[in-house]
Amino acid sequence: MTAKTIMVQGTASHVGKSVLVAALCRIFYRDGYRVAPYKSQNMALNSFVTRDGGEMGRAQVVQAEASGREPSVDMNPILLKPTGHASSQVIVLGRPVGNKCAQEYHREYAQEAWIKACEALERLRAENDIVVIEGAGSPAEVNLQETEIVNMRVARQAQAPVLLAADIDKGGALASVVGTLELISPRDRDRVAGVIINKFRGDLKLFQPAVDFLEAKISKPVLGVVPYFQGFRVQEEDTVSEETMRRSSGEADRDVEIAVIHLPHISNFTDFDPLEDEPDVHLRYVGRGTPLGRPDLVIVPGSKNTIEDLAYLKRSGLAERICALSREGVPVVGICGGFQILGRELNDPLHTESSIPHLEGLGLLDISTTFAREKITTQVEARACGPGHLLERARDLTVTGYEIHMGVTRTGSEVVPAFEVIKRLGEEVSLWDGAARPDGLAWGTYIHGVFDTASFRRSIINSLRQRKGLPPLDETASLSAWEQRQRDYDRLGEVVRGSLDMEKIYSLLGLPPR
């Protein structure tokens, strides 16, 4: 089997390429085809750990789920995780190979990465009917065209027709399409089979003259105008979306308010999507210049550069404010890097993450963390065992998630474990995870996705409700995060199917629509 291929590229970053790929994957999956996503190189802080312990970009995990497939590192063979200015940790086929500056990567490593990426693509093509490929940024970045391994070079390698997506919500969509086609080579221009106008708001009939003009100007068809999605969520690739930030900045109009600290190097913020979806929760992202207020719970999230983000908290005054709220009895929770930040100190003697070798933490937990070169990436299953009002209510509830961290944390005498890991990479174990104060008002864990489990998530929220004198809500009514995502993929597929010329897209693939 050699899969047919089709590729979605964009006129710029954040035009909706990853969501359109997820939508096409869902459509092909629902039509009975065996389909897989592919992005040769992804730069993102949101990542995931596969069943066998490989790390890959979260966007390709979303696309895999939309395809009805188990995520595989072949779907994202090269992952770049920014660590600082013009420097990234390079992860190849799920395993870190070191930190590289941009110049070193493009000049010295890109060719080796390209070979790995091509091998991964061929493995996917051998196992599927269709591979839907995602580009990155724009193919018109002329300074990168000779060394790029993620846009037109991939399209040529895969012999894939290209759908060029433009974001009309930000304005300038027609100009960006015309400019992109003007700046790429004639052979690559010929490979562009059509245009998708994405994130449209308004009356489509009023927009039709613009569509007619664009088609005449570029001599290519507009294959669809996709509306701005509302009423459902598809997880973001790399940044907290503008829509989420707008929602979070509104007035708290629900029973429970949860504040997530928006760190400069925030990672895996999709951990908190399930909380935002709860009907009684107002979730806010709080950064520099945003008042923290007095929420019912403060969460310090994961970070790709934990020491630098801790320094930011101290400079911005947020560290002092978090500690003051903790003294007033407001619960504070840390996830992964946030867990490390809650401790007494962070040490990085080998400069694994930062040029700062040592920094005192917030001191809310009796733990200390030292960064090491070895990276832990593993899926886990754990049960809650911590003390205090929040965790006692959830005691013995099982959660599933994954760990991605480079720090080794040692606990002191003033904390106890928050969770017991009972399964790691599919094998039964008995290991302690995280730490909690005896009063349970400060605790942390290395487990990403801990709130995905509906029973645990609802238990924590109901504990917060009870602290405010509010009755608990039904703990069996919430969907798991996976169930909610599956519903959203179906809705996404329906919207996009109704917006695109799917008959033409199947014709480009050389396959019959089903």
Is 336 labeled as catalytic in the residue annotation? yes
Angle between helices 318-327 and 306-316 (to 10 degrees): 80
Alpha carbon 91 to chain centroid, angstroms: 16
Q: Is 385 a catalytic residue?
A: no
Tokens of 105: 């990567």
**Each residue of 365-399: b (16+ CB within 10 Å) or e?**
bbbbbbbbeebbbbbbbbbbbbbbebbebbeebeb
* SS3 call for 40: coil
Q: What are phi and psi of 252, to 5 degrees?
A: -70, 110
Rounded CA separation 230/19 (Å): 13
Please tell me whether residue 67 adopts helix, strand or coil conformation.
Answer: coil
Evaluate whether 452 touches 404 at the Cβ level (below 8 Å). Answer: no
Q: Which of 106, 265, 282, 448 is catalytic?
A: 448
Are 446 and 339 a contacting pair, CB within 8 Å?
yes
Report yes or no: 135 and 10 within 8 Å, Cβ to Cβ: yes
Sign of CA dihedral 500, 56, 39, 172: positive
Residue of 25, 262, 336, 385 with catalytic role: 336
Separation of alpha carbons 509 and 4, rounded Å: 6
Burial 220-248 (b: 16+ CB within 10 A, else e): bebbbbbeebeeebbbbbbebeeebeeeb
List residues with catalytic annotation.
Answer: 336, 448
